[in-house]
Chains A and B, each alone.
Chain A
Amino acid sequence: MERILEVKDLAIDFATYAGTVHAIRHVDFHLDKGETLAIVGESGSGKSVTMRTVMGLLANNARVVSGSVKLAGEDILHKSEKALNQMRGNEVAMIFQDPMTSLDPTMPIGKQVAEPLLLHTKATRAHAMKEAARVLALVGIPDAQARLKDYPHQFSGGQRQRIVIAIAIINHPKLLIADEPTTALDVTVQAQIVHLLKDIQAKLDTAIIFITHDLGVVAGIADRVAVMYAGKIIEYGTVDEIFYNPMHPYTWGLLEAMPTLSATRKRLFAIPGTPPDLLTPPQGDAFAPRNPYAMKIDQEQEPPFFAVSKTHAAATWLLHPDAPAVDPPAEIKRRKQIWAQKEGNHDYR
């Protein structure tokens, strides 16, 4: 497996008028070729800041406290702006949430799609436009050749997101970062865009990082999942491990709070309280105040990662050998039963 991205011990602070915000607090993860990693978390959990770091797009008041980010073996944290420009849109590309604001309303779409080619390769104008038409057809814009001269407002929301994806993939990036690419779209269009991303991945073998707070979309697209809370990854594993054998109470809460069509409960589960203020991160486990399973040690000491399998780990004291056995919520038990059947063993916590 070729390693595309390796993030180690990343910590980022922001200097604000109110004080220093510890937005990212020591995050590790990696990504291999052709793989899809979903990063799940609430607003303010640090998922977007992490990805902006990978793109070299941090704001001026950000400070990298520690860690390294290696894209295809090269450290990007110490690259010059010129080198970063060479990398962006070429080796790594990003798809943003809102297709209305990520396209230039005054520029025909053909020109916008061809732009990365003209910037990063020696392609001629004519060739770049031809290539733009080809990629637009690939992402499902009907009659692409004829529409090169059309402007963004002449397309629907879903089509605009397809155009944004075309811009991102025209240079065959090794890594594609999609930051909530379907949140602004209708459900039916969302399903089409997810399908398109999977299709592109199969054709180009691109690694994809998918940032979202919607666990439904994650279940359909991810190979692996990392759950973030208050600037940290608190659990990671394969998509099956996270959905059928979750270990962290926050992951439990997220899964419980998801409405499902099949469920018949009359009341939705809600995680009580709100995320902590990262100006003064709490001592101990940041989730402890909202966690019904919190123990005394959660208030005092931050939990380390406890390995569940080679691919699965969670930062919760519940996994410590000395921790008392807890009774997970009914919805989580239901999921763990599916896991037990999958594993063919009934020895689960």
Chain B
Amino acid sequence: MITDKTPLVQVRHLVQTFNAGKKDEVRALQDVSFDIYKGETLGLVGESGSGKTTTGRALIRLYQPTSGEVLFAGQDIAKLKNGSAQMLAFRRQTQMIFQDPYASLNPRMKVKDIIAEGLDIHHLVHSPQERDARVAELLAEVGLNEDHASRYPHEFSGGQRQRIGIARALAVEPQFIIADEPISALDVSIQAQVVNLLKDIQDKKGLTYLFIAHDLSMVKYISDRIAVMHNGRLVELASAAEVYHHPLHPYTKSLLSAIPEPDPDSERQRVPIAYDARQAEGGQRQLVEVLPAHYVYATAAEVAAYRQSN
């Protein structure tokens, strides 16, 4: 739900290189630029190794960018000093929900301490009673109840743990949440519950999401716009409907052609489209606004062809 078009996050020519200059140099992100508007959900899809997780981590400054910049509410996050008041404020504004609900909760901590850790760090509660009340409120918000507060993570199912992870993220009242494959470890019927929960919370609080996933069919449900990554580059960026009904870049087409549908008739006729990166990446290509609000990574000639085909 886009309420206005003010960008909350601006990524400008971001390059992230690991082990620069060494034999095992990895160019994880190559000249990535995009905006995330206030109140929207941007879906980020791509295969393993495409750079989508690196992008998510760069946005909460787990890395120092090699070049380029990331602006959060207009402020360059690379310039924030560790331990400074601005850094602490930024960390409160931006929260993350992780893929594996089994690995992302400390098994030795009670649920209430997991959820209240952020409250303690940011001094958001001032008495044990207030702390318990806030935890109970957060648990209710994600569909769990007060009794769960004094249990340990192992007593919960995968879907419930993911709800605890969401409650922890919400505790510090962030503006922006990065969800890195939050549902891929869950069963289909539970995935739907978690996606609906994330949507409800967004509607209620006006949050901004970056939703990272490799499952395009699920991303479509939650995203306003979708960015497709491959080999560390953004190859296409457009509204969710545009990406699905009118994909332009060959990689997006290939990705869409491979998604299995729960329909035997259409599966029998499925023809996956092969993708050859050599034909559609590198060279003189840039991310160009081919149609209004529809960006594609292409050469000038390809851009002309895309425009013509409309």
The residues of A with any CB-CB pair to B shorter than 8 Å are: 42-43, 157, 186-192, 194-195, 213-220, 239-240, 243-244, 253-255, 257-262, 266-272, 274, 338
Contact = CB atoms under 8 A, between A and B. Distances in A.
Contact of B157 (A191, A219, A254, A274): A274
B262 interface: yes
Q: Which 9 A-B pairs have the closest CB atoms?
A: A216-B260, A270-B192, A220-B267, A186-B47, A271-B189, A215-B262, A268-B192, A191-B258, A270-B193
Interface string B108-145: 00000000000000000000000000000000000000
A146 to B, nearest CB: 23
B264 A190 contact: no
Interface in B156-174: 157-160
Which of A189, A195, A216 gathers most chain B CB within 10 Å? Answer: A216
Contacts of B244: 261
Contact of A259 (B158, B189, B217, B268): B217
B215 interface: yes
Interface in B188-231: 188-193, 195-196, 199, 214-218, 220-221
23 contacts: A187-B214, A187-B258, A188-B254, A188-B258, A191-B258, A191-B272, A195-B272, A214-B260, A215-B262, A216-B260, A219-B266, A219-B267, A220-B270, A254-B188, A257-B188, A257-B191, A259-B192, A261-B216, A261-B259, A268-B195, A268-B196, A270-B189, A270-B190
Contacts of A213: 187-188
Contact of B263 (A194, A214, A243, A268): A243
Contacts of B272: 188, 191-192, 195
B213 to A, nearest CB: 11
Nearest to A241: B264
A43 B160 CA distance: 14
Given A219-B260, A255-B262, A269-B192, 19 more contacts: A43-B158, A43-B187, A157-B48, A187-B215, A188-B47, A188-B255, A191-B272, A194-B260, A215-B188, A215-B262, A220-B260, A239-B264, A244-B264, A257-B189, A257-B192, A260-B261, A261-B256, A268-B195, A272-B193
B276 interface: no
B197 to A, nearest CB: 9
Which of B47, B191, B215, B260 gathers most chain A CB within 10 Å? Answer: B260
Contacts of A272: 193
Nearest to B194: A270
Contacts of A218: 262
Contacts of B188: 42, 213-215, 254, 257-258
Contacts, number: 116
Interface string B253-289: 0111011111111111010100100000000000000
A195 B196 CA distance: 33
Nearest to A221: B267
A282 to B, nearest CB: 17
A187 B216 contact: yes
Contact of B159 (A195, A214, A257, A274): A274
A264 to B, nearest CB: 9
A266 B272 CA distance: 27
Contacts of B187: 42-43, 213
Nearest to B160: A274
B199 to A, nearest CB: 7
B160 to A, nearest CB: 8
A181 to B, nearest CB: 13
Which of B216, B254, B265, B267 gathers most chain A CB within 10 Å? Answer: B267
**Chain B interface, >50% SS class:** helix
B48 A186 contact: yes
A7 B275 CA distance: 43
B224 to A, nearest CB: 11
Which of A157, A187, A255, A269 gathers most chain B CB within 10 Å? Answer: A187
Given A187-B216, A220-B267, A271-B189, A258 B259 contact: no
B47 A42 contact: no
Contacts of A260: 217, 261-263
B226 to A, nearest CB: 12
A219 B192 contact: no
A42 B265 CA distance: 24
A239 B259 CA distance: 18
A71 to B, nearest CB: 28
Nearest to B270: A220
Contacts of B195: 268
Contact of A253 (B189, B262, B264, B265): B189
B262 A191 contact: no
Contacts of A338: 265
A219 B262 contact: yes
Contacts of B258: 187-188, 190-191
Contact of B220 (A43, A254, A259, A271): A259
Interface in B220-249: 220-221, 244
A191 B260 contact: yes
B218 A267 contact: no
A2 B188 CA distance: 35
Which of B199, B258, B266 gathers most chain A CB within 10 Å? Answer: B258
